A and B are shown apart, each in its own frame.
Chain A
Amino acid sequence: MTNRIRQSLELQEILSATVAEVQSFLGTDRIKIYRFQPDGSGQVIAEATHSGRLPSLQGLYFPASDIPSYAKELFVKARQRVIVDVPSQITTLSRLDPTQTATPLTLDDIYTTPIEDVLQRPVDPCHLQYLTAMGVQSSLVIPILHRQELWGLLVSHHAKPKQFSKQRLQTVQMVADHVSIAIAQSQLLTNTRAKADREAVINQISTLLHAPIPVGEVLQTVLERAVKAVDGAGGRLYLMANELSSMTQLYTVGAQPVTRSTEPPLEAGSFWQQFIGPEASSPQHSEIDPNIWLALNPDHRDRDWATLHQQTVHDLCLVNDITQEPLLEVVQSRFQDTHIRSLLVMPLRYGDVPLGCLTIFRNEIDTDVSWAGRFDPDERHQCVRSSFEVWRELKRGQIRPWTTNEIELLRSIGTHLTMAVMQHRLYQCEREQRILVEMRNSELNVARTSAEAASRLKSDFLSSTSHELRTPLASTLNYLELLRSGLYDNPEELQEYINIAYQSAKNLVDIINDILDIAKIEAGRMSVQFETVDLRKMLQQQEDLFRPESRQKGIALVVDCQVEQLQADAVKLRQILTNLLANAFKFTNTGRIVVRASQRCNTSHPSRPVVEVSVTDTGIGIDREHKDSLFEPFVQADGSIKRRYGGTGLGLTICKRLVELMNGQIWLESPGKGQGTTITFTLPAWPHAQPGQSH
């Protein structure tokens, strides 16, 4: 018989084999194995019946009150069988002779009374009534112990009075002991399997976490796996903002509480903040209350445990019933349209630094329990119910508490997640440092290149300046040398040499002044004083200034001014106009010079109108190719121009810089050589930039 029982490691098979073997051995009407639930109730989990005299109770539940606690204690303490012979109304405990005891035993009695005194006594009338109601005349009950706890009962019921020989009783007792061993082994197997399953999940997740795929995908997948592994309804992984990323990150999967876009995430709420908020303390390693272990027992059916709605075990927090958690009250409405009833929060922290948290949701479930007979759980029934007809009790919205297995698994996942997140942050940090260094290097390169370019420009400018100064200087010195050495033949020649030397020196001063102007603008030391300028009046003055030249060369100067006023630096505007008009007169031999001024809409900034001033001549014009370079220092369209027309080669450069200082633009148009030139510049009708330093 024991061999048959030991053939399997699967508990259900063992128990089925046991009841079948015991039934055929004892020949009674019904053999059942009754298993206690953590709440004290119990279920018939294996049964063998014979002859049909007693109904099957397979799968039915019996309320906790059916077997009083003193009876249970007695089973543990006596570790013996109970034989009730209903007709003789005698309960026989074990082998010893009875000591008569009329009063029901209390728990204290069991602990204080010597075992011999409680072994045989009259049957509790209530129990007698109970058995009678079940149609049982003979009952044999043998406790099945597991880890010194009452795990269940092996029960034989017979519709007729029945006597058992001592030998038979010993054999059945032995079977029960073997069942205990089998349960222990099976439990071990279950634990080992659960552990293996857990490790498999952890391995998968760990592999994922170090896979070369984007971290977002990894975290999302890990979250999905974690939720699936604990049979959750949904879950979320919340990662807090940190020095590397200013945004919090939230990954979600499955069922979620309702969150409107305007609302902060759940994790901003006080419940989550106690783990990840600034006030969050480090995990407390408290001893686990044995009750909590019960609450977490995978096999328990919850009834009385609703009070154990929240347990903080080590570093994570589980809420079996969110409706009972005061800190969740504010977010209760968000869960209203969901079936979420339990949740588990696993804070992720690296040392003292909270990184975020993993939250798993679990739905409420509907339970369906078949009771052996209807009873009222609210009323302590002193006596036996009359019927053991199956009573199905359907309960909706029952909480499904978290099990130790699940908690262990999530804790491991949490640890791996923490490491992965930290690793990613470190990697990111390192990468950002590297990018920063690269950026600094490239900035330095740009700075060096531009410094080199500036240095080259400066050196080019210096070289040009030196060249431009040396030519008039050479002339001056030549004639001074002639004068100094007295190398002139007559007073006219003397006068001529003196005049040439004087003119050359004067030209030198002009060039030096222009160079100083440009240097000043480029050094940013030329300030602009905006004021309201009467343009009509200023153009009138220019007309007066150039009238002698106009008359002398026979070139008409026409002024067409459509603008009364504009905002500009008067001194600089006058310098620009004089420069442009001097150029126009210089390069025009016949025809006329026209100055036009009008207000224009600024196409790129319609709200900022500009004043446009143009100087058009009928002079030598310019090829397309030289048009833009004319504004560069010392560039003249043609080197011969200086000798033919004079000038420093800096006039247009200065005009351009001055116009730009006043937030304007300047450009040159010419149909071609010999066809005249128009130089146009714009200035804001009113200043939109702060008058001040240029650069």
Chain B
Amino acid sequence: MSGLNVLLVDDDDLLAKGTAKLIQRLGGHQVDITAEPADIFQRCRSQSIDIVLMDVNLPEAEWLGQPVSGADLAHILKTQPQTAHIPIILVTAYAMLTERQPLLDLSQADALCVKPITNYQDLLQLIDRLCNQRSSQ
């Protein structure tokens, strides 16, 4: 599967640019980068997004005057009827098992992958699988 619209949420420009380029070139997907909560919601509601790669650590992000993390944003997306269907993969540098499960529970995200991503083929397969599940439902 290729040609998916991937929304990459990350506030580290340099890192995000590299990641986006790899997904584009290796998976043939369209990747948009943003770190603005309003922008995220707007894009997701517009039905143009197939899957979200969400960085957990977004220190500058605020929603309704409150600081929010990527996990919080994922939770909002998953609990809104318009956006609940969109698969979300959390991306985090918190690598410990004890840190990962609470993030998944809190966010209701579909999957979690740990930075640094060392095997993009695995990530691309995960993207494919989640989008297939979604479309076959």
Residues in A lying within 8 Å of B, measured CB to CB: 463, 466-468, 470-471, 473-479, 481-482, 485, 487, 497, 500, 504, 638-640, 643
Contact = CB atoms under 8 A, between A and B. Distances in A.
Interface string B1-32: 00000000001111100110110011000000
A645 to B, nearest CB: 13
A474 B117 CA distance: 7
A478 B96 contact: no
Interface size grouping (class) on chain B: 20 to 34
A477 B123 CA distance: 15
In the A-B complex, the 8 residue pairs with the smallest Cβ-Cβ separation, listed nearest first, are A639-B59, A478-B18, A474-B116, A470-B93, A474-B115, A477-B116, A487-B25, A467-B93
A500 B16 CA distance: 12
Interface string B60-102: 1000000000000000000000000000000001111001000
A288 B128 CA distance: 115
Contacts of B116: 470, 473-478
B22 A471 contact: no
Contact of B14 (A475, A477, A639): A475
Given A467-B93, A470-B95, A643 B11 contact: yes
A479 B115 CA distance: 14
B38 interface: no
B60 A471 contact: no
11 contacts: A463-B99, A468-B93, A474-B116, A474-B117, A475-B116, A477-B116, A482-B18, A487-B25, A639-B60, A640-B59, A643-B11
Contacts of A481: 18, 22, 120
Contact of B57 (A475, A477, A639): A639
Given A470-B115, A471-B15, A478-B15, 12 more contacts: A463-B96, A470-B95, A471-B12, A474-B115, A475-B15, A477-B118, A487-B21, A487-B22, A487-B26, A638-B59, A643-B12, A643-B13
Contacts of B115: 470-471, 473-474
A478 B19 contact: yes
B45 to A, nearest CB: 26
B33 to A, nearest CB: 13
B126 interface: no
B111 interface: no
A455 to B, nearest CB: 14
A470 B115 CA distance: 6
B114 interface: yes
B95 A474 contact: no
Contacts of A470: 93, 95, 114-116
Given A467-B95, A474-B115, A477-B116, A485 B14 contact: no
